[in-house]
Structure 1
Amino acid sequence: MPSSHGKSAVIGGCKSLLLCCPLLVFFTLALLLPIGIWTNYCPSSSSSSLRLFLSSLYYSSSLDNESRSELESRNDSNSPTNLSHLVFGLLGSEKAWHHRRAYVESWWRPNATVGFLQLDKPPGAELLPWPPSSPPYRVSDNVSRVVEETNHVNPRVARMVHGIMETVRDAPQRATGTLRWVVMGDDDTIFLVDNLVDVLAQYDHTKYYYLGGHSEFIHANNYFSFKQAFGGGGIVLSFPLAMAMADGIMDCLKRYSHLNSADKTTGYCIADLGVNLSPHQGFHQIDMHGDISGFLSYHPNAPLISLHHFDMVNPIFPSMNRAESARHFMAAANSDQPRMLQQLLCFHRPRNWSFSVAWGYSANIYEKIMPRSYLQNPIETFQTWGPSPRPPNWIFDVRKRTTTDPCLVPHAFFLESVEEVTARDEIVATYRRSWRRGLPACFAGDGDQSADRISKIVVYSPVTKPAKIGRSECCDVTIDSVDSESAVIKTRRCMADDIIA
């Protein structure tokens, strides 16, 4: 039998434990709840000290080996990857957001896409109240502290690289263990999220993956690196790699404190973890200037994932500004993302014409039968990103722009509308002529006629998704009469013996 002294000790201990429980619960919640919950209550710079304190508590506890192991095991699921498994970290500036907001809002889906915009400072009064059509915003962590601790030469670079850790740390899916992919982009990047999900679903999110695209300008890759993803076009990290990257972010910034490129620093940090870039042709940095219609009209046979640098190129649709172009482009994309910009090639042999359609964007008619091996190459309507010491300028084959040969200059049409006809399970895309060529007919063979009369091209596609990318779709073209001003194209799956030539 225990003594009365022992009974008192036990009772006293229980009382102490009961008194401590509320404190233990409070600190446990402070450590385990996503930091985003706290920052929603203290988004202003006046609360930055509290935010940094809570961030340090959460971050130091949540990235230890035990927590990482637990989250990775909860994330190891056989369920298909969907949009809720992705978190987007968009790096932007308060000044530029005033006119770049339209780009992001064209693809952002409130209550569906998950992530936030990282601003360099709190938004001004003219941007408030913050609209629900925009991503939620955060103000980047104290860059001066990061620069002081890492001795970095460029605060802007330090902020951008550190932003990867902030995205991982603040991701709402961290609380539920459903985070699979971290997607980094800029505030002038357009993402096609359905295509991105389809591509990522082909990868094992429990492994280390670093996905993105090269610069189109070959000299930019040479100057920076052919082994890095260019961040404006999008950088995608699998969850385990993003955790490892976030865990060592300060050490990496110290290690590469001399670098003036955020993308190069990111690539180096990932290389030090033993991971190489898995490049994908659907990410587009758009390191070009001027008219990029010649590039967009001849997209590679890969799902379109991103377009960057909308401020640095001409509006992509005639008679529209950049914001209108972004909305018009995404309105088409949201009707059928897998087909967006996918090239259709078919021929009207009685007239000796070739039709090339970049679905959802443009259609071209050539007054000559040409093989796909030629028509798959973009027309160089665009200029180099910077001074070019010598050709080649691009990481892809190009056709030189010509203004005199009527057999090589296409009749250009751009998207007017996209409509889904549910009764026929079809999507109808209409393309209108944008300008007259001002050239005579080609006259390359029998049956040649000028295509000047054609003012509209209508393309019918099935509502069902096309087959997995690997082979392009085929199509058939009909023109009702000699005097017809319309051409009708019907998309179909290619037969085994179809030759596009």
Structure 2
Amino acid sequence: MTSPVLATDSPTKKPKMGSLFGDLFKSLAISGLLIFLFYIILFDNTTHNSLIQKWRIPITNSTNLISSTPDPNNPMIKTNLSHLVFSIVGSMNTWKNKRHYSEAWWRPNVTRGYLFLDKPPKNEFLPWPSSAPPFRVNEKVKAIYERASNPSQVRIVRTILEMVREGDENVRWYVMTDDDTVLALDNLVEVLSKYDHTKYYYIGTSSECIRSNYDFSFEMAFGGAGYALSYPLASLVASKLDGCLKRYPTLRVSDFMLYSCLADLGVALTHNNGFHQIDLHGDISGLLSAHPQTPFLSLHHIDTVDPIFPNKTRLDSIKHLMKAVKVDPSRVLQQTICHHRPTNWSISISWGYSTNIYEATLPRSFLHRPLETFRPWRGQRSSRSPFYMFNTRWPTNNPCETPHVFFFHSTQESNDRIMNTYVRASSPGLAPCGNHSANHIQRIRVFSPAKLPLESNGRDCCDVVYGDGENTTEVRYRACTKEDVTA
């Protein structure tokens, strides 16, 4: 048995001083090398050798991807204006007269997109102004389609392909329109944000006139009004378009060419009545005073109708409307109806455009029908009625159904409310409907909330503030209640 003394005295190896210093030196050397490499990778911007490059490139690229290239399909990021790219179809022969319509809604350095022209700009347009969309010149169609029956229309539809080829990043929607169309950008963004941009969507509207739709298709978007293609669908169309157009060499209208190609791909139109083709003539105030209960998105064919405001040019009228669009796009042209029981008046407001006073208590269902102040598209009067895709009501000499008309004059903003002023444009010129004539009213002030946008497809209610004999009437918007029913 081993004694404790002997166990303690048993021989063991003691470490040598040289070995300890050697291990310490190795550890310090390795640590120093690692620190040096770490410093080079993170802080040195100069490439010294291929080894360092192999370390640095992956780290740099992954950092850039995270910081500067957000995933456009991330559902956590709501669609905004930067996700839209616009294609504006124009012609060099008409750009001089139509450019101001595009410039009325285009936001330099904010909106993305291009004006596609049939030929390069003339010297009078150079240098190209920053207030206008950047231009591109379309490819020559004749070199691609020898059998095309209408090359100018093929040029227009191929703008989709050429726009996709531009390769813009972080795109969710491509929006096509014409150079004589005005857009409400914020409303367009709000509407498109309701749809899943990762799926196939073709969103637009048909014509206001039955005959125009009959001649082509009731399920076709009219390009002047504007339409939107989701990114995946636009990419698919771009890859298939040339082959599709060769299958349909006799088609003569660009919108019908696109509709036919999309039908072959199994994609149907999603209708939105906020786009307006305006296949109409004359005074469209009756239509704009009874807008559908959906956000206003576009207005086309401005030069084929009367100026939308009296005593203004067409361009000045559009600029005037855009003042209201800038203040509260969610309410522009949205119809609100309220009644004043003491006088039996009905007041219909198209926010930022017009106000009509009727000297009778009229149901909303009646006032929702546009007053037919306009005419159908050229050549369609010879066809039998009905002419329109919506119900209308005829102008009448009945003093209870003929409005006193007031148009938007000015707007004032404060912290919590917006005041729009409307001034009289016309009187019915008829005997009063009852005991309370509105002939003496010259001005209407409409108050609406400044910090509470109208929800898409939502509605406001209102109260009328009026004293006998006053020449000004006030209307105050408020939230609707279950009691707001007028039979």
Q: What is the aligned partner in structure 2 of residue 398 from structure 1?
A: 392
Please state if 1:426 is matched with 2:414. no
Q: C-alpha displacement at 1:473, in angstroms?
A: 0.9
Question: What's the secondary structure of 1:75's corresponding residue?
Answer: coil
Q: What is the SS of the residue equivalent to 1:393? A: coil
Rg larger for: 2
Distance 1:409 1:427 in 2: 28
Number of the residue aligned with 2:470:
484
Consecutive unaligned residues in structure 2, runs of 5 or more: 1-49, 51-69
Correspondence 1:22-41 to 2 at 5 A: none
Q: Any residues of structure 2 matched to 1:307-322 within 5 Å, and which? A: 307-322=299-314
Deviations 1:96-135 (A, max 9, x none): 1111111111111111111011111111222222211111
Is the counterpart of residue 411 in structure 1 residue 404 in structure 2? yes
Q: What secondary structure is seen at the aligned counterpart in 1 of 2:145?
A: helix
**Secondary structure, aligned partner of 1:430:** strand
Residue 346 (structure 2) pairs with residue 350 (structure 1)? no
Distance 2:390 2:453 in 1: 25
Match of 2:267 among 272, 275, 281: 275
Q: Distance in 2 between matches of 1:239 and 1:248?
A: 14
Q: Measure, in 2, the Cα distance between the counterparts of 1:171 and 1:414.
A: 44
C-alpha contact 1:338 1:465 (8 A) present in aligned 2: no
Partner of 2:138: 140
Note the alpha carbon deviations across 1:404-454, whole angstroms, 9 max, x for none. Answer: 2211110000000112112xx1111110101232211112xxxx3110110
TM-score (norm 1): 0.81
Equivalent of residue 377 in structure 2, options 382, 385, 399: 385
Match of 2:154 in 1: 158
Distance 2:232 2:72 in 1: 10
| SS of match in other structure, 1:93 | coil
Aligned to 2:324: 332
Task: Determine if contact 2:184/2:297 at 8 Å carries over to the other structure.
Answer: yes
Return the alpha-carbon distance in structure 1 between the equivalents of residues 440 and 272 of structure 2: 40
Once the two structures are superposed, residues 280-322 of structure 1 have per-residue CA deviations (whole angstroms, 9 ceiling, x without a partner) of: 1101100100100000000010001111000110000001111
Q: What letter matches 1:360 in structure 2?
A: G
Q: Give SS of 2:324's match.
A: helix
Counterparts of 1:144 and 1:240, CA distance in 2: 28
Distance (whole Å) between structure 2 residues aligned to residue 456 and residue 172 of structure 1: 49
Indicate conservation of the 8 Å contact 1:146/1:158, yes or no: no
Residues in 2 aligned to 1:182 and 1:332: alpha-carbon distance in whole angstroms: 26
Looking at structure 2, the residues matched to 199 and 103 of structure 1 have their Cα atoms a distance apart, in angstroms, of 22
| Distance apart, 1:365 and its partner CA | 0.3
Match of 2:367 among 368, 375, 380: 375
User: 3-state SS of the aligned residue for 1:116?
Assistant: strand
Q: Secondary structure in 1 aligned to 2:357?
A: strand
Secondary structure of 2:395's counterpart equals coil
Match of 1:459 in 2: 446
SS at match of 1:118: strand
Distance in 2, matches of 1:499 and 1:143, equals 58
Q: 1:190 corresponds to which residue?
A: 182
8 Å contact from structure 2 (residues 331, 454) kept in 1: no
Match of 2:198 among 196, 206, 218: 206
Q: Which amino acid aligns with 2:347?
A: F
Query: Is the alpha carbon distance of 1:144 and 1:129 closer, same or farther for their aligned partners in structure 2, counting shifts above 3 Å?
Result: same
- Deviation at residue 467 of structure 1 after TM alignment: 4.5
Moved more, 331-340 or 124-133: 124-133
Q: Contact 1:301–1:343 (CA<8 Å) still a contact in 2?
A: yes
Is the 8 Å Cα contact of residues 102 and 326 (structure 1) preserved in structure 2?
A: no
One-letter identity of the residue aligned with 1:486: T
Structure 1 match to 2:168: 172
Q: Quick one: distance in 2 between partners of 1:476 and 1:220?
A: 41
Q: Could you say what the CA RMSD is over the residues aligned between the two structures, in angstroms? A: 1.5
How far is 1:229 from its partner? 0.4
2:11 aligns with none
> How far has the Cα of 1:74 moved from its partner?
4.3
The answer to whether structure 1 residue 242 and structure 2 residue 234 are counterparts is yes
Task: Name the structure 2 match of 1:499.
Answer: 485
Q: Matches of 2:301 and 2:232 in 1, distance apart?
A: 29
> With structure 2 as the length reference, what TM-score do the two structures score?
0.84
Given that 2:330 and 2:455 are in contact with CA atoms closer than 8 Å, whether structure 1 keeps it comes out as no
Higher helix content, 1 or 2: 1
Q: Is the 8 A contact 2:328 2:453 kept in 1?
A: no
The 3-state SS of whatever aligns with 2:420 is: strand
- What is aligned with 1:5? none
Give runs of aligned pairs for residues 100-115 of structure 1, distance below 5 A. 100-115=98-113
Q: Which runs of 5+ in 1 are unaligned?
A: 1-17, 19-72
